[in-house]
Homo-oligomer: A and B are copies of this chain.
């Protein structure tokens, strides 16, 4: 919800979820929904292309699972881990900035 507030922050969520243990798209979506208290309920059209994009960027590697279920399992690369680190820092800074602005109080 909320227009396109997610833009630019999706990668952070995805990478975080994968680092935390989630392995395939569907599970990532579930975990994000749960961990965000329902705030991030990402549709397929959002999550799968994003995973492809991250893979193409070299932040993720993937393989097909062997155990019956046809699912693509993702893992962070070294580059992905570094990117996650940066994204985290970037988020902290972003949040700090917004909070700073939000503390502005009317002067009239």
Contact = CB atoms under 8 A, between A and B. Distances in A.
B39 A94 contact: yes
Contacts of A46: none
22 contacts: A1-B90, A2-B90, A4-B8, A5-B7, A5-B91, A5-B94, A9-B98, A12-B98, A12-B101, A16-B101, A20-B106, A21-B107, A36-B96, A36-B98, A36-B100, A37-B97, A39-B94, A39-B96, A39-B97, A40-B101, A91-B98, A91-B102
Given A20-B107, A36-B101, 17 more contacts: A2-B8, A3-B8, A4-B8, A7-B7, A9-B98, A16-B101, A17-B104, A20-B104, A32-B101, A35-B101, A35-B104, A36-B96, A39-B93, A40-B97, A40-B101, A95-B95, A95-B98
A13 interface: yes
